[in-house]
Every structure is written in structure tokens, then in C-alpha cells.
Amino acid sequence: MVKSALPLLLLGLLTGCAVNPVTGKNEIAFIGTEQQIEIGRKNYVPAQQMQGGQYKVDPDLTTYVAGVGKRVVAHSGVDLPYEFVVLNNSIPNAWAMPGGKLAINRGLLTELENEAELAAVLGHEVTHAAARHGAKSMERGTILQGVLLGAAIGTRNSEYAGALLAGGQLAAGLVTQKYGRDAERESDYYGTKFMAQAGYDPNAAVTLQEKFVKMSQGRKSGWIDGLFASHPPSAERVENNRARVQELKAQGITGSDLGVERYQRATKRIRDDKPAYAAFDAARSAIESKQYDVALGEIDKALRLQPAEAQFHGLRGDIRRLQGKHADAVSNYDRAIGRDDGFFAYYLGRGVSHAALKQRADAKNDFSSSLKLLPTAVAYNEMGKLAEAEGNQDEAVRYYAAASQAQDATGQAALTSLVRLDLPRQPERYTKAELFNDNAGRLFVRVTNGTPVAMRDVRVRVMLRWAASGEQSLALDVGNVAGGQYVVREVPLRQESLLAGQAQVVSARTN
């Protein structure tokens, strides 16, 4: 049996066998702790941005949530660079990224009644990170980076929904994933232990689940898309938590702290402001259905109730922009950025209005500020237009290429611009020309348009080498080739044998 020791050892090294820091179980791990921390570090900001950005009206709330989080993680036994933020989003949700980066929505905080329930939520999410559930999903390849619909939950409107690019797609997948029942059970099991060890009453994990079950019954779809999509509540989870509390008590692990007053004090602002956010959310729905006057009425109501909320000013900017009132839109975006300079959509919206007003330098600054916070096709496409207007073709091509990755109307517009600009410069990049024979021995060239954009004046050069007469260069006009289609032209043959041949598109344009 000595012979098998080496291969087994090698297998262990290659697959990275490791002990799970939370469960103590042996498991295969390709993504190590350092890598998880790096993944969390890279994706934390884009994930926050696409979920509405940080809540900033009452910064004490974030400090408070982070304090409760720190109290819980002290017992997780896993030393990660934990961070906690409150997101400005009305949907009740919370998530954790690999490496210990957590977020909880304003809309979940207003549903909880005490600090122990908050500790239960955070304990559950901390376990997802500490027990490397996200890393495991990545290893299994079950993170759906392409599915971005869910990711757009919480951006202020759906204008940018399909337009997240490479930097945003993994972030989107990480925070909208379903972990699966085993991971959920594990997070409930250990999360409840961590909060009890921190001195909180573990019964809050039971009341929390009961609340979730009640909330998930008969709520509008936005709620289902949020917390309950990634952490489905069930009667079974309520019962499991109840049994877990008894188990912990038997082990002497329990606390009595509920922190009702502390919690009510810390969340007073967001609870008082619920009507303002309801008006804000109503304004967003009105924008979706293009009822801009209705949206304006709702957002003005929200602003009267809470003028310090940057999102309200930003959404008012969006409405004015969509109404074509760009100068007024810019003033609204200015007010939003004055209150919060860290949300991509204010810069993106202001950039579009600046561009409409032909204020190109300001537009460019705004688009690049927005791209630093979240890569969107809209910003790259606008940067492309600005570069093209300045006669900087290389730069324009690079921006259009980046924007063309998005699976939406903006991505398609960017691809059309990219092909229009770059096709005359490098036609071979977007086309394919192949020689082939038919059964009768005739020679043809097939020219394929590798883009969805129609091409005109396509010209192909055919290089042939004949046995007796040597090299021949032939130019053939192919004419129009529709997007994604090909055309075939016959190549005239000589009365001698053909030794070799090749073909290439040498010129083409789209307009």
C-alpha cells in the first residue's frame, strides 16, 4: 500500500483538501482564504452600487449595525476582514460575499424588532462567508454571472439593468445566488450559535424565521426576489431553529440580550422615513411605465419628507433628464452628489445630461467617475461617442468594444458603432472569406459577415497559385452581406492545375 501514498498525497495537494473553518469537516477547496478575501474586496463596491448604494442619511445606523456584526463575528472562529454596510434599498434583503463582506438593506432593518433579530440575520450571513458557501458555489460553477436581471434589483430604475459589464457580473452573481438547502441549514445552525455566544437571546432566530415565513406569504414579487430568493423561509427552518435553541441551552450556550430599546433608537430615522421611501419607490415604478409627471409628483413628496436623501435628488434628476430638461436635471444631480459623492448613477445621469447640453468635458468627467464605481455599458458607450466626436478613433473603438459586451439595446448600439468605425480599418477582423470547390470542380469564395450589422461594398481579394502561370491576385466585389449571413461568388478557373489559394476581405463598410 506504500505505493499509493504518493499519488494520494499529490491528489491532496492538487485539489487543496482543507478543513472547513466553521464545520470542521474535510472538504475539497480550490479557492483559498486569500483568494476569497480578494474576491470580496474586488466585488464589494460594485455589488453595493447595483443594489442602491450605501444608506447615508443617518451614518450612525451603519456604525450600529457594524457594532452588532463585530459582536457576532468574534465568535465565528474565522478571522476574515469583515465589513458591514447598510444599503439604500427598500427590499428586505441581506447578503454576504466571500471574504466576509456583508450588507443589509434598509428595507430589512425596518422589518426587525430588536437587536437580537439583527444579530440572527448577521450570524446567518457571517456563516455563509466563514463556512465559504460562496466560494463553494464558485468552485461548483453554479454562480450565474450571465443572469443580471436579479442583480438590477435596487438600482434606482431599470435603465441600466442589462448593462452591467465584466466587473459587475461576478458581483451580481455572488449576491443573488441561491446557496442551497444544506448551506442555509448550516448558516442557521452556526449563526444561531454565534449570536447566543455573543450574549443574545437565540430565540430571536426563531422569531426572525417566523417573521420571514409570514412576510413571504402574499408579498409582492420584489420581496420574493430579494431575501427569499436566496434564503427561502420555511416552517422547517422555524422548527430547526427552535430545536437548535434547545440544543444550545443544553450545552449552556445561551444569552438573554434582546436589545429592543437600542434597536428602536438606532433605526428610528429609517422607520420615520418609511413614507418618504414609499413615495420614492412609487416614483421609480412610475418611471418604469414612463409616467414622468406622476413620478415627479411622488419624488417631490419624498423630498418634502426627507430633503437630506441624495437618492431622492438623484431620481428627480433622472425624471428631468427623461423629460429632456437637461439643465434642470444637472442641478438635481448636483444636489444628489453634494449629499453623497459615492453613487455611480448620479454621475452617469449627469454625464448624459451634460452630453445632451454639449458640455463634453463635464460629461467625460462624469462618465469616468461613474465607471470607477460600477462598469456599465451606458457609460462606456457614451465615452465612445465623446471620443468619436473628438476624432479619437482608437479610443472610441476601445470604449464601444467594452460597451458591446452588454446584452441589451445599449450593447447592440455600441456594437453597431464599433463595426461602423472599425470595419473599414480592419475588415478581416469582422469577416471570414473561404475558398471551396463544388462537385463539378468549380471554385467559389464564401464571405461571411461575423457581426449582426449589415455590411456594404464588401470587396474580397483572392490569391491563387497556378502550376504553370504562378501567382494570381483577383479582386471580387461581393456587394452587401446582411448581418450574420454569407454570400458566395464563383472564382474563374484557368486551364491548368491550382496549387494553392486563399481569400481575405480587403474592404467593407456599414454605412
Binding site residues, Zn ion, CB under 5 A: 184, 187, 231
- Shortest Cβ distance from residue 191 to Zn ion (Å)? 9
Alpha carbon distance 229, 225 (integer Å): 5
Active site residue 261: no
- Shortest Cβ distance from residue 75 to Zn ion (Å)? 18
CA-angle at 271, arms to 345 and 104, nearest 5°: 55
Beta strand segments in 178-222, E: none
Question: Which residue's C-beta sits nearest to Zn ion?
Answer: 231
- Shortest Cβ distance from residue 128 to Zn ion (Å)? 6
- Shortest Cβ distance from residue 100 to Zn ion (Å)? 15
Alpha carbon distance 350, 223 (integer Å): 30
Alpha carbon distance 225, 332 (integer Å): 30
Q: Which is nearer to Zn ion, 186 or 422 (CB)?
A: 186
Alpha carbon distance 120, 132 (integer Å): 18
- Shortest Cβ distance from residue 179 to Zn ion (Å)? 6
- Shortest Cβ distance from residue 182 to Zn ion (Å)? 11
- Shortest Cβ distance from residue 187 to Zn ion (Å)? 5
Find out whether 188 and 238 touch, Cβ atoms under 8 Å.
Answer: no
Cβ-based burial of 425 (10 A; exposed 0-12, middle 13-18, buried ≥19): exposed
Alpha carbon distance 348, 326 (integer Å): 13
Beta strand segments in 88-142, E: 94-97, 101-105
Q: Which is nearer to Zn ion, 231 or 339 (CB)?
A: 231
Q: Which is nearer to Zn ion, 178 or 325 (CB)?
A: 178
- Dihedrals φ, ψ of 202, to 5°? -65, -15
Alpha carbon distance 34, 452 (integer Å): 42
Q: Which is nearer to Zn ion, 225 or 408 (CB)?
A: 225
Q: What is the DSSP string of 452-499?
A: SS-EEEEEEEEEEEETTTEEEEEEEEEEEE-TT-EEEEEEPPPSS-EE
DSSP 200: B
Rg of the chain over Cα atoms, rounded to whole angstroms, equals: 29
Alpha carbon distance 168, 213 (integer Å): 31
- Shortest Cβ distance from residue 190 to Zn ion (Å)? 11
Q: Which is nearer to Zn ion, 231 or 335 (CB)?
A: 231
- Dihedrals φ, ψ of 337, to 5°? -70, -30
Q: Which is nearer to Zn ion, 85 or 121 (CB)?
A: 121
Instruction: State the cell numbers at 29.
Output: 477547496
- Given 113, 115, 117, 125, the catalytic residue: 125
Cβ-based burial of 474 (10 A; exposed 0-12, middle 13-18, buried ≥19): middle
Q: Which is nearer to Zn ion, 126 or 287 (CB)?
A: 126
Q: Which is nearer to Zn ion, 189 or 292 (CB)?
A: 189
Find out whether 393 and 386 touch, Cβ atoms under 8 Å.
Answer: no
Residues labelled as active-site residues: 125
